[in-house]
Amino acid sequence: MRIIAGEMRGRQLKTVEGMQTRPTSDKVKGAIFNVLGDKVLDARVLDLFAGTGSLAIEALSRGSHDAVLVEKSREAQDVIRENIERMGVSHKAKLLQWDVFKYINEFPDEIFDLIFLDPPYREGLALKVILTLREHACLTSDGVIVAETAKDEELDGDIYPYEIRKTGQYGDTKVWYLQRIDG
């Protein structure tokens, strides 16, 4: 796994051994950032279920202002910390070993431009997190939530004030782009 573009382009990221995490492939990551375009510039980024930190670090490489990475697994957190240090972005990245739901509820006033959401597949977590996020004003009016799920998962339910603006499918991964309806 590598950084695709920006000031860290081509640099390799360490991954978590075993099946505990499922890193976003370079193909999917490239597609996500092509859709986001300039929304990445100077953005405040929240990376939930951060895994290796690949999405947040890619955003920082492409010009995001700062990032908060939330990951519960100690093993994954050690990999993220190493990746952050190796890429030289420790001053822009805040790493928290927390449960995602606890983080959202403990810091309801934190506001972000981009929220990456890449939970384990087929556990309904993407929808649960989106429903939790909607209880707080944590996304800027023109911000974007990028959620990854398995291709056969759906985001069913009332997700207001968010709406699905775009989706893309890449192998077993489906990517959802959500924005505020009033945004």
Q: Is the pLDDT of residue 21 over 80?
A: no
- Greater confidence (18 vs 125) lies with 125
Q: Where are the domains of the chain?
A: 26-180
For the stretch 69-92, what's the b/e string if a residue is b when 16 or more beta carbons lie within 10 angstroms of its beta carbon? Answer: bbbebeebbebbbebbeebebeeb
% the chain with pLDDT above 70 = 97
- Region 145-168: mean pLDDT is 93
51-55, 147-151, 152-156: which range is least confident on average?
A: 152-156
CATH topology of domain 26-180: Rossmann fold (3.40.50)
In this prediction, residue 20 carries a pLDDT of 60
Per-residue confidence (pLDDT) for residue 183, from 0 to 100: 57
Give the pLDDT confidence score for residue 18 in this predicted structure. Answer: 62
Query: pTM of the prediction?
Result: 0.95
pLDDT (0 to 100) of residue 90? 96
Of all helices (H) and strands (E), which one includes residue 106?
helix 100-106
Cα separation of 107 and 115, whole Å? 14
Token pair 């077993």 is found at 172
Rounded to whole angstroms, how far apart are CA atoms 33 and 133?
A: 22
Mean of pLDDT values over 88-115: 95
Tell me, what's the pLDDT at 58?
A: 97
